[in-house]
Structure 1
Amino acid sequence: MRVLLVLIMALCCCPAFADDGWRPTLTSHQWVPERLLAIDKDDQRLFVLQHESPIKAVMELPCTTGQAQGDKMVRGDLRTPEGTYFLGRRIQRPLGWDLYGNIAYSLNYPNPVDRIKGKTGSGIWLHGRGKALTPRDTRGCIALKASDLESLGSDLYPGMPVVVAEDVSWKPDSGTEGKLAAELVQEVRNWARDWESRSGKFFVHFDPVAFTLSGSGDFAAYKSHKESIFRSTPWLHVMVDNVRAIAGPDYWVTCFDQFYRSPSLAQTVGKRLYWMRTAKGGWVVVGREYTRPQQDLAPQYFKVMDKRIRPVIRKWAAAWQDADMESYLSFYGTDAVQGDYRGAEAIREYKNALWEEKAPVKVTVDDVKIFPDSKGLRVDFVQEYEDASGYADRGHKTLVLAPVGDGWKIEREEWRRL
């Protein structure tokens, strides 16, 4: 039912469905992609737009689009689709020079929202043309002079946004789009947070029927698979960065890099989520696509973990030095192993007996280094210890910590003398 409400709102309220086609005005909010293409079907022009505060055109070229006017709906209607699309890889095979020049890129038509709407067809390209350009002369593709497309060179890349509209314009301020983009960026962060929590709240971000119709996979199977992972995985981390947001006719697309880490997997992927409004004004994910990431987020993830773990180690050392048993034990998991002692209660008994006889007076840590571990993180450092009897030592300490809730617990502790 919710997908019907989503689509009814989109069809009734969005200018994308006006008789004269989609006519967006792009604005200069901070989440606009750094560079994108804009196709103006009315003027038969292609613009290379760059976000330099404000957004501006850095190149303008003539182009030709579909022979029939209007938004593409079905295979063979000779129309060029209207919406927000993304370049695929360069097509590496011989092309007919007159029609295609020597360069072609696929577009991701039909995108997930197109599939929800039942649009059909495929093979929409951005390509060159060896013969002279004639306005509205393709079967639905976007064609440029072969020399013009070649001149774009490295400006084109897989995943580059392409806004295709009947008429497109842009302005220097952020407008209402800036507020909407901020909402969507926050939605992405909430989606990642709820995924990391391994709770049912994660699934509230989706419209199950629309997700299935979009070609993103059967939602029931997707949910069952995720729930199985949530039950069997003690923890997982999800980091998102390089988030961009761009509007379509009646939807938004957020593009970002995602780092996922669990005990058995660590990887960075690029991802696009397609969002639509609900009848109550909220946002739901109706489709998704995987892409190549802009950067590997693993180094950034471990920098964040480093900042989180160092205060934990300092507080653990302070609790030990103060002989504060309850605070000290709060850093250990129930089944923690410390040398020959297994379990938090065994550690308590050992430390109680030791501290009654020789209380600690100095515990310092230095040269802290953090590494991945299947349990979570391994922390290596140099430890100096001294007790009330005058005994002192210096050694290499290893702590293995596992994520528990919003914090960390020591699962294993090892020491060797230096």
Structure 2
Amino acid sequence: MAHHFKLASALLIGVYVAPSANSMNWSRSVPPPPVTAATMAQASVEAAPERMLIDTLNAVRSNRLDDALRLVDALIEKNPNYKLAHLIKGDLLLARTRPLTTLGNAGDAHAEKLNDLRAEAQVRLKHYLAPPPSEAIPASLVKLSPQQAYAVVVDATSSRLYMFRNDNGVPRYLLDFYVTIGKQGAGKNREGDQRTPVGVYFVTGKLPRADLDKTYGAQADLYGVGAWPLSYPNEWDKRQGRDGHGIWLHGSPSDTYSRPPLASNGCVVLTNPDMAALGRYLSAGTPVVITPRIEWLAMDEWRSRAAKAQAQLDHWRSDWEKLDTEHYLAHYSDDFRANGTDINTWRKQKSQINASKQWAKVKLENVSLFAYPAETPMLLTSFDQDYQSNNLNNRTRKRLYWKQEGPGWKIVYEGSQG
């Protein structure tokens, strides 16, 4: 006997919405379609859990509810603590006896927890329905230095993390994962504001689970398989008066497969399998850009922007090397401040130093360039600087923060990294 029901999902254009008539049915007497549920379930068991989830939702949307139940059972068998999968299975079982109106239709369900699970289903399905353009590059990754084998970009709005490999300075897509960010979203300003910072950061090291257990005891389970600390607050954060600490990439508690999109205290959180997979590519110095929303560029546009950013840095280096003090200082904004030095003091110091030079050579190596996520367009340039002159030889790691002012770019912060 067939059972009929109607689903009008409150999720992204209807997670459960069926084509045309918007009605679906269970049928235990009608043979399955040529691609059977058993075949699909077997194939999906070997796939990533997110792929299995999407297969389940697509089976529901295609009016193949027996298939959907088998698929979600396979997903739960693989990940027993996947709460969203259990919710979908509950819906499928309830659908045999009564109409459903939304994802998570149990009358006594906790509203906040349901909303969290709906939000997770929404962002995961949205990524499947509208993936980034093929071969596109995030605008924030302008150039990667030879020392940066990989780079990470986090899209806070879509709860997605993308990993790229360095192909002779060109970022090439490698992996992507669903992530959780701060309970209050992105844009950290203060300690305890439960927001994830926005900016360009670098992995500072690794905290294996064994080390976390020694330090935090039972609370270490919050971080799952381990943690990779980030360099928040960076120089620009401090310049803006932002504070806080302990912003990490880390895994999930052992009793939870995945957390809702907005659930951390500010860290970027992955499932344990995803964090373990990502962690294989992370090392001290790996760039991690956290942006409200990724701007994706076609290769030609990316190359054009990268060339302009590199030219800006080259002009600064050339003017400095030529001891052309007027043009060199013209690269600095009136808003420049660094380590307690304002633009007037900086101009005076640099004018005196250049006046004492007979010649200078400035070489920049291991250059990386990032479009810094900010309300006003910014650039971050990072490089090893080899400075030689008639009375000083110096080699240091340096970062320059540039802000767009009118048609050009001006330096608003300069600092050495030791």
TM-score, normalized by length of structure 1? 0.54
CA distance in 1: counterparts of 2:226 and 2:351, whole angstroms: 44
CA distance in 2: counterparts of 1:27 and 1:207, whole angstroms: 24
2:248 pairs with 1:125: yes
CA distance in 2: counterparts of 1:291 and 1:261, whole angstroms: 18
2:395 pairs with 1:278: no
CA distance in 2: counterparts of 1:127 and 1:210, whole angstroms: 35
Match of 1:20 in 2: none
Query: Cα–Cα, structure 1 residues 28 and 139, in superposed 2: closer, same or farther, change >3 Å?
Result: closer
1:341-390 deviation digits (Å, cap 9, x = unpaired)? xxxxxxxxxxxxxxxxxxxxxxxxxxxxxxxxxxxxxxxxxxxxxxxxxx
Deviation at 1:28, TM superposition (A): 10
Query: Cα–Cα, structure 1 residues 159 and 288, in superposed 2: closer, same or farther, change >3 Å?
Result: farther
What amino acid sits opposite 1:191 in the alignment?
W
Query: Cα–Cα, structure 1 residues 28 and 42, in superposed 2: closer, same or farther, change >3 Å?
Result: closer
Match of 2:151 in 1: 36
What amino acid sits opposite 1:235 in the alignment?
W
CA distance in 1: counterparts of 2:140 and 2:246, whole angstroms: 31
1:289-342 deviation digits (Å, cap 9, x = unpaired)? 4347xxxxxxxxxxxxxxxxxxxxxxxxxxxxxxxxxxxxxxxxxxxxxxxxxx
2:310 pairs with 1:185: yes
What amino acid sits opposite 1:182 in the alignment?
A
What amino acid sits opposite 1:270 in the alignment?
R
Query: Cα–Cα, structure 1 residues 37 and 30, in superposed 2: closer, same or farther, change >3 Å?
Result: closer
- 8 Å CA contact retained: 2:142, 2:369: no
What amino acid sits opposite 1:254 in the alignment?
T
Match of 2:330 in 1: 204
What amino acid sits opposite 1:143 in the alignment?
V
2:142 pairs with 1:142: no
What amino acid sits opposite 1:233 in the alignment?
K
- 8 Å CA contact retained: 1:27, 1:55: no
CA distance in 1: counterparts of 2:401 and 2:350, whole angstroms: 19
CA distance in 2: counterparts of 1:223 and 1:125, whole angstroms: 38
Match of 2:385 in 1: 258
Query: Cα–Cα, structure 1 residues 262 and 158, in superposed 2: closer, same or farther, change >3 Å?
Result: farther
Query: Cα–Cα, structure 1 residues 29 and 79, in superposed 2: closer, same or farther, change >3 Å?
Result: closer
Deviation at 1:152, TM superposition (A): 3.6
CA distance in 1: counterparts of 2:251 and 2:392, whole angstroms: 42
Query: Cα–Cα, structure 1 residues 254 and 206, in superposed 2: closer, same or farther, change >3 Å?
Result: same
Match of 1:246 in 2: 370
Match of 2:228 in 1: 105
Deviation at 1:265, TM superposition (A): 4.0
Q: Which has the higher strand share?
A: 1
- 8 Å CA contact retained: 2:195, 2:265: yes
What amino acid sits opposite 1:203 in the alignment?
L
What amino acid sits opposite 2:371 in the alignment?
A
1:18-52 deviation digits (Å, cap 9, x = unpaired)? xxxxx997159973566310112234332211254
Deviation at 1:122, TM superposition (A): 3.4
Q: Secondary structure at the match of 1:134?
A: coil
- 8 Å CA contact retained: 1:27, 1:173: no
What amino acid sits opposite 2:288 in the alignment?
V
- 8 Å CA contact retained: 1:28, 1:51: no
- 8 Å CA contact retained: 2:156, 2:186: no
- 8 Å CA contact retained: 2:361, 2:389: yes
Deviation at 1:140, TM superposition (A): 0.9
Deviation at 1:216, TM superposition (A): 7.2
Match of 2:173 in 1: 57
Q: Which runs of 5+ in 1 are unaligned?
A: 1-22, 293-418
Match of 2:163 in 1: 48
Q: Secondary structure at the match of 1:99?
A: helix
Query: Cα–Cα, structure 1 residues 238 and 211, in superposed 2: closer, same or farther, change >3 Å?
Result: same
2:26 pairs with 1:26: no
Match of 1:194 in 2: 319
CA distance in 2: counterparts of 1:37 and 1:216, whole angstroms: 32
Query: Cα–Cα, structure 1 residues 108 and 287, in superposed 2: closer, same or farther, change >3 Å?
Result: farther
Give 1:325-344 correspondences, 5 Å limit. Answer: none
Q: Secondary structure at the match of 1:237?
A: strand
Q: CA RMSD in A?
A: 3.4
Match of 2:65 in 1: none
Which of 221, 226, 230 is matched with 2:350 structurally? 226
2:203 pairs with 1:77: no
Q: Secondary structure at the match of 1:42?
A: coil
Deviation at 1:256, TM superposition (A): 2.4
89-98 or 24-33: bigger deviation: 24-33
Give 1:307-386 correspondences, 5 Å limit. Answer: none
Q: Which runs of 5+ in 2 are unaligned?
A: 1-131
What amino acid sits opposite 1:258 in the alignment?
Q
What amino acid sits opposite 1:245 in the alignment?
L
Match of 1:236 in 2: 360
Query: Cα–Cα, structure 1 residues 264 and 82, in superposed 2: closer, same or farther, change >3 Å?
Result: same
**Larger C-alpha radius of gyration, 1 or 2?**
1
CA distance in 1: counterparts of 2:197 and 2:141, whole angstroms: 25
Match of 2:300 in 1: 174
- 8 Å CA contact retained: 2:250, 2:275: yes
Query: Cα–Cα, structure 1 residues 192 and 143, in superposed 2: closer, same or farther, change >3 Å?
Result: same
- 8 Å CA contact retained: 1:116, 1:210: no
Query: Cα–Cα, structure 1 residues 137 and 30, in superposed 2: closer, same or farther, change >3 Å?
Result: closer
Percent sequence identity over aligned pairs: 29
Q: Secondary structure at the match of 1:254?
A: strand
CA distance in 1: counterparts of 2:360 and 2:234, whole angstroms: 30
Aligned residues between the structures:
266
TM-score, normalized by length of structure 2? 0.54
Query: Cα–Cα, structure 1 residues 291 and 170, in superposed 2: closer, same or farther, change >3 Å?
Result: farther
Deviation at 1:98, TM superposition (A): 1.6
Deviation at 1:277, TM superposition (A): 0.9
